[in-house]
Structure 1
Amino acid sequence: MPEPTRWHTSPNLALNQQVAERRAAGERIIHLGFGESRLPVFGPLAERLATGAREGGYGPVAGSAGAREAAAGYFGRRRLPTSADQIVLGPGSKPLLMALQHVLPGDVLLPRPAWNSYAPQVRLAGKRAYGVPIPAECGGVPDPAAVREVVRSARAAGGDPRVVILTLPDNPTGTLAPPALIREIGALARELDLVIVSDEIYRDIVHDPATPFLSPAEIAPERTVITTGLSKTLAIGGWRVGVCRFPETEAGRRARDGVVSVASDVWSTLAVPMQEVTAYAFAEPPEIRERLADSARLHGVVAREVHRIMTAAGADCRPPTGAFYVYPDFGPLRGLLAGKGVTGSDSLQRHLLDAHGVMVLAGHHLGDDTSALRFKAATSMLYGDTVKEQEESLAAPDPLTLPHVADVLTRLEEAIGELAGG
C-alpha cells in the first residue's frame, strides 16, 4: 500500500502565521518573510467593491465582458494588442497558474531560485520540475545556456520539459531581466519548442520608470501565456484578483478553453464584486496610475536601503530594480557564521529569528541549495503598522526620514550587523 501524501502549508504563509502568533505573544519581530504589499486599500477600489456587492449572481466563467475588455486594454497599452476573448479572470493569479499546469502538456523548467509555489504546483499536476540556475545579472529567468543543456539531458533521459516559467520582475531577487535576455529566451523557446508562462504580476513595480520592460509575448507571441493580478501593485492580495492572457493562436485558444474548463469545476467564476474592481483598476484611470507610480517609488526606495544594509554587512546581493525583494547571499561570511551554528539557509533563517528577531524566507524554500546562505527579504513589510503610517510612507518625498520607517530600518541594520559581527 503506498504511503500517504505528506501535505505542507506553503512556507511563506506558514511563516506569516508564525509571526502573527509571536507578535500576539508580545515579541517584536521584523517581518521580512512574506511578500505582501503592506499598504492600505485605495479608497476608490473599496467603492467599486461596494458597488459590485449588490450583484449576487455567478456570471460567465471566464469573467464579465467589461472586466475582460478592461484587461485587454491594459495589455494593449503595453504593446500587446489583445482582445477580450484572450482573457480569463480568476481568484488570484495562483489558481490560474495551477490551472495552466493541468492544461499545458509537459514538464516544467523553473528559474532557480523561484517563487515557492511554482514547484509544488508542478508536482500537484503530476509533472516534474527542473530547476535551472539564474544568470549572474538577474533572477526571474533561467540561464539560457543552462536551459539548453537541461532540456537536452532531460529529453535524453526520457523526460519531457515543454514549459518554462519566467517572473518579470522577479520574486525572490527583486530584479528585472533585461530585454536582451528576454529576446534570447524567446528565441530559445522557439528552438526547443517550449511554451513560456510569463508571470508579470510585478510588472507595474519597476522602480525606475525609465527602465525598459520587454515581455516575452512581444518576442514569441504565439507561445507565451501571461499571468498577472492586483495583489502586488494595488495591495489587495486578500481580495484575490488574477488575470491570464492567452496567445491569439489555435494552441492559445485550446489552452484558454482548458483553463476555463478547469475553472468551471474548481472556482466557477471570479466573485462578481471583484470583477467590478477588475474593470475599474485595469482601465487605469488617472488616480490608479498615480497610485501605481507612488507605490513603485516607495517600494524602490525601501528595497534599495535594505540592499545597502545587507551589502554593508558583507553579503553579496543583486541591486533591486523591481518588485519589493532583495536576495542576499551571506556566503562571504560562511566561516564567521559557522561559529554561530549557521551552516545553511535553514539554520540562517532560524538564527535570524531566534537571535535577532528578524523573519526571512530561507532560500531552500525557493529551490536554492540547502547549504547556501541565502534568503529572501520582503521589504514591503516595512512601511508602518497602521493605515496612517503607511499612507504617510506612500506620500513622503523621502520615506526613509519618517520615524516609523527609520526606526524599523535601524533595528534591521543593528540585527544584520550583529549577525555579521564576530
Structure 2
Amino acid sequence: DPRLLVLSVADDPTGTVAPPELLHETLEAAVGEGLHLVSDETWRDTLHTPRDTVLLSPAEMLPEQVTVVTDLAGALLPPGWPAAVARFPAGAAGGPLHARVLDVLTALDARVATPVAVAAAYALSEPEPVTARVAASVRLHARVAAAARAAVVAAGALARPPQAGRHLYVDLAPLAPALAAHGVGDAQELEDFLTGRLGMPAAGGHRFGDDLEAPRVRLSTAPLLGETAEQRAECLGSSAPLELPHVRRALTHLKTVFDDLRDDAQRGESHR
C-alpha cells in the first residue's frame, strides 16, 4: 500500500510529452485518492522543439505534494556515471519524507562516488560549457529521432512523433504477419529479433509495463551516432550530422530492416 503515483511528463520509452490537460486530470484523480506524487523529470530539459511543446511539471501545480526526481545521466552526465537528485516538497510533508529516504539510502549504503559527485555538482550549477553541450545534444538527437521515425513509419510501423529525450517507441502491429513468419509472436521475441537484425538494443515494450503480447519496442537514437567516442563527438560538432557517413549508414540499415519487414508483409498478403 505505497499510496504513490510516479509520473513521467517527458516520457522515456515513448519520447513524448504529456499534454497539460491530461496531466491536470491525472493529478485531480491522484489527489482524490490521497496519493503522493513523484515526478520523474530526467528528460524535461531535452525538448526537441521547446517553442512548440508545453511541458508542465506536477510540482508547478501541487508544490506541496510532489517529489521531483531526475537521473543526471540522462542529459547532464556521461552514460554510466550514476547520480540522481530528488527535490522534496516544501512544508510539513517534505521534511519527514526526506529524512525517511535518507535513512533508507543509508541502510542500503547507497553513495555517489566522490568524482561523480563533483561532476554532478558542477553540472547542476549549469555552467555555459554544460548548457551549450546539452543544447547541441538535444538538437542532434531530435534530428536523428525524426529521421528514424520517418524510416519506421514509411515501412508501415506506428510511432508517435518524438518530442523529448533520446528514444522512439515503435508499434509493429501492422507488420505482425511478417513478424509471425519469422517466429516473432510477442515483445520478448520481437526484442531478440530486432536486436539481432539492427545490431543495436531494441527493448521490448514489456520492459516498460506494456503488454507482452503487444509488438512494441523502444529504439534509442544513441547507437545511430556511432560506435566510438570520436564518431559521437563528430556528430555533436557537425552542422549536418545526418550526412556523416557513419550516421547515414546506420539510418540506411535501420530503414532496410523495416523495409524488409514491410516487403515480407506485402508478399504474405499477395500469397493469400
TM-score > 0.5 by shorter chain: yes
Equivalent residue in structure 2 for 1:380, among 216, 222, 232: 222
How far apart, CA to CA, are the structure 1 residues paired with 2:235 and 2:77?
A: 14
Judged with a 3 Å threshold, the aligned counterparts in structure 2 of structure 1 residues 419 and 356 are, in CA distance, closer, same or farther, namely: farther
Q: For the Cα contact (< 8 Å) 1:317–1:327, is it kept in 2?
A: yes
Match for residue 151 of structure 1?
A: none
User: By how many angstroms is 1:363 displaced?
Assistant: 1.3
User: By how many angstroms is 1:418 displaced?
Assistant: 1.3
**Paired positions, count:** 263
How far apart, CA to CA, are the structure 2 residues paired with 1:419 and 1:388?
A: 33
Alignment map for 1:17-416 (pairs within 5 Å): 106-107=1-2, 162-210=3-51, 211-267=53-109, 269-354=111-196, 357-416=199-258
RMSD of aligned C-alpha atoms? 1.7
1:288-346 Cα distance to aligned partner (Å, 9 max, x none): 21111111111111111111111111011111000111111111122232233222212
How far apart, CA to CA, are the structure 1 residues paired with 2:198 and 2:40?
A: 34
Judged with a 3 Å threshold, the aligned counterparts in structure 2 of structure 1 residues 386 and 336 are, in CA distance, closer, same or farther, namely: closer
Q: Which amino acid aligns with 1:234?
A: L
How far apart, CA to CA, are the structure 1 residues paired with 2:214 and 2:34?
A: 33
Judged with a 3 Å threshold, the aligned counterparts in structure 2 of structure 1 residues 317 and 224 are, in CA distance, closer, same or farther, namely: same
How far apart, CA to CA, are the structure 2 residues paired with 1:382 and 1:347?
A: 22
How far apart, CA to CA, are the structure 2 residues paired with 1:253 and 1:285?
A: 30
User: By how many angstroms is 1:401 displaced?
Assistant: 0.7
Match for residue 13 of structure 1?
A: none
Q: Secondary structure at the match of 1:238?
A: coil
Give ranges in structure 1 of 5+ residues lacking alignment: 1-105, 108-161
Q: Percent identity?
A: 38
Q: Secondary structure at the match of 1:382?
A: helix
User: By how many angstroms is 1:268 displaced?
Assistant: 5.5
User: By how many angstroms is 1:380 displaced?
Assistant: 1.7
1:342-386 Cα distance to aligned partner (Å, 9 max, x none): 222122222224455454111122221121111111112211122
Judged with a 3 Å threshold, the aligned counterparts in structure 2 of structure 1 residues 311 and 235 are, in CA distance, closer, same or farther, namely: farther
Q: Secondary structure at the match of 1:333?
A: helix
Q: For the Cα contact (< 8 Å) 2:178–2:261, is it kept in 1?
A: no
TM-score (norm 1): 0.59
Judged with a 3 Å threshold, the aligned counterparts in structure 2 of structure 1 residues 315 and 252 are, in CA distance, closer, same or farther, namely: same
Judged with a 3 Å threshold, the aligned counterparts in structure 2 of structure 1 residues 396 and 415 are, in CA distance, closer, same or farther, namely: same
Judged with a 3 Å threshold, the aligned counterparts in structure 2 of structure 1 residues 336 and 175 are, in CA distance, closer, same or farther, namely: same
Q: For the Cα contact (< 8 Å) 1:246–1:255, is it kept in 2?
A: yes
User: By how many angstroms is 1:408 displaced?
Assistant: 0.9
How far apart, CA to CA, are the structure 1 residues paired with 2:103 and 2:199?
A: 46
Judged with a 3 Å threshold, the aligned counterparts in structure 2 of structure 1 residues 356 and 277 are, in CA distance, closer, same or farther, namely: closer
How far apart, CA to CA, are the structure 2 residues paired with 1:364 and 1:268?
A: 28
Q: Which amino acid aligns with 1:367?
A: G
Q: Which amino acid aligns with 1:376?
A: R
Q: For the Cα contact (< 8 Å) 1:230–1:237, is it kept in 2?
A: no
Q: For the Cα contact (< 8 Å) 1:325–1:376, is it kept in 2?
A: yes
Q: For the Cα contact (< 8 Å) 1:361–1:376, is it kept in 2?
A: yes
Match for residue 420 of structure 1?
A: 262
Judged with a 3 Å threshold, the aligned counterparts in structure 2 of structure 1 residues 340 and 206 are, in CA distance, closer, same or farther, namely: same
How far apart, CA to CA, are the structure 1 residues paired with 2:143 and 2:209?
A: 28
1:252-302 Cα distance to aligned partner (Å, 9 max, x none): 111100011112222364333333222211111222211111111111111
Q: Which amino acid aligns with 1:236?
A: P
TM-score (norm 2): 0.90
